[in-house]
């Protein structure tokens, strides 16, 4: 897994900060425990010292831990705010969406993802987006709770019926990124995967126009069938 969006870059940094903080605490606790258990074995034959700690000592230890927690809290807010920002579309991106992110309505349904592009084209399973372009997915669900998760591009978000959640990212490299739905949604949950194909703006335009034409052609075909009386 490697971050390919400004948001996931920030998440990656914060993940390392969290890992270091967690490692410090684990090493301190487990190390202290093992040292005390080995150093003060009964076999050494000493008398147990009947000492207890005073309130001031506890207060100082508590304060130190509190400062540690507060530092993590502040760093988390700083990096979370950075990760939440909608990045501006870059020079190589789709220029139409320079001021606003490219909005794609993403619908979770048992057990696939549907992507509705601004020009009424839509696709299932595969999302095609232009590189270096700010993209905003508006997540909705038609049935149960699904979680959209393509870890290289963005943090995961739930699609909850009756609510809209938002995911923003800006893919910095062309390529294919895989993702898997991350909330149990029924029988075929494990097969509910998705794929984000990041292409150049020209290829993106061609794709959505092609999709639109295909969909239009299919609709015309159905209309023709009905008019010819071939469909009751």
Partner 1 sequence: MSVPARNPELVVDGFPPRRPRWVEIATSADHKDLGRVLIAGALGFLLVALAELLMMRLQLAIPENTFLNPVTFNRMLSLYGATAIFLFAVPLALGFFYYVAPLQIGARGTALPRLGQIGTWLFIAGATVLYAGFLFTPSEAGVNPLPPLSGIAFLPNNGVDAWAAATGLATLGFVLLAIDLVATLRRLRAPGMAWRRLPVFSWAATICSWLVLVIGPVMLAAITMLLIDRNFDGIFFAGDAGGSPLLWQHLSWIFYSGAYMLILIFALGAIAEIVPVLARKPLFNRGAVIGSLVAIAVLGTLAWMQNMFTAPIGIGWMYFAMAMSLALIVPFGLVFFNLIQTLAGGTVMMRAPLLFAAGAIVAISLGLAAEIEHSMVAVGWRLQHTTDSTAATHFALVGGAVFGGFAALHWWFPKMTGRTMGETLARFSFWTMLLGALVAFVPLMLAGTEDGQVIDAYKFFGGAGVTTYNLIASIGAFVLAAGILMTLVNAILSRDGGAPAGHDPWRGDSLEWFALSPPEPHNFDLPPDVRSARPMRDIRQAIAHRGARAERPAGESQPVA
Positions 61 through 80 that interact with partner 1 (CB under 8 A)? 61-62, 65-66, 68-70, 72-73, 76-77, 79-80
When binding is defined by CB under 8 A, the residue of 5, 41, 127, 196 that contacts partner 1 is 41
Which CB atom, from 52 or from 99, has the smaller least distance to partner 1? 52
Q: Does 10 help bind partner 1 (rule: CB under 8 A)?
A: yes
C-alpha triplet 203, 206, 210: angle, nearest 5°: 140
DSSP 119: T
Stretch touching partner 1 by CB under 8 A, among 54-62, 115-123, 198-206, 207-215? 54-62
Q: Does 37 help bind partner 1 (rule: CB under 8 A)?
A: yes
**Cβ-based neighbours of 55, under 8 Å, separated by 6 or more:** none
Q: 112-116 and 146-148: which strand pairing?
A: unpaired
When binding is defined by CB under 8 A, the residue of 22, 206, 222, 223 that contacts partner 1 is 22
Q: Does 131 help bind partner 1 (rule: CB under 8 A)?
A: no
When binding is defined by CB under 8 A, the residue of 39, 91, 230, 232 that contacts partner 1 is 39
Tell me the CA distances in angstroms from 58 to 31, 64, 67, 69, one per residue in order: 20, 10, 14, 16
Element (H, E) at 158: strand 157-159
- DSSP of 192-228: -EEEEEEE-HHHHHHHHHHHHHHHHHHHHHHHHHHHT
Which CB atom, from 41 or from 213, has the smaller least distance to partner 1? 41
Closest contact distance (angstroms) between CB of 83 and partner 1 is: 4
- In the window 137-166, what residues touch partner 1 (CB under 8 A)? 143-145, 147, 149, 151, 154-158, 160-165
């Amino acid at each position: 897994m490697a971050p390919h969006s400004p948001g996931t870059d920030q998440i990656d940094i914060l993940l390392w900060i969290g890992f270091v903080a967690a490692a410090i605490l684990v090493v301190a606790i487990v190390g202290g425990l093992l040292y005390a258990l080995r150093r003060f074995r009964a076999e050494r034959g000493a008398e147990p010292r009947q000492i207890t700690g005073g309130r001031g000592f506890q207060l100082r230890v508590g304060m130190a831990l509190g400062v540690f927690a507060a530092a993590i809290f502040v760093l988390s807010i700083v990096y979370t705010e950075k990760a939440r920002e909608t990045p501006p579309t870059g020079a190589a991106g789709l220029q139409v969406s320079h001021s606003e992110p490219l909005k794609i309505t993403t619908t979770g349904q048992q057990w696939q993802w549907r992507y509705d592009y601004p020009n009424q084209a839509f696709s299932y399973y595969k999302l095609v987006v232009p590189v270096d372009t700010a993209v905003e997915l508006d997540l909705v669900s038609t049935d149960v709770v699904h979680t959209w998760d393509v870890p290289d591009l963005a943090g995961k978000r739930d699609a909850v019926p009756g609510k809209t959640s938002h995911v923003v990212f800006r893919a910095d490299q062309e390529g294919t990124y895989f993702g898997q739905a991350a909330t149990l949604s029924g029988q075929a949950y494990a097969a509910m995967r998705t794929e984000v194909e990041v292409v150049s703006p020209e290829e993106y335009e061609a794709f959505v126009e092609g999709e639109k034409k295909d969909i239009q052609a299919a609709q015309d075909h159905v209309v023709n069938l009905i008019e010819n009386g071939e469909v009751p």
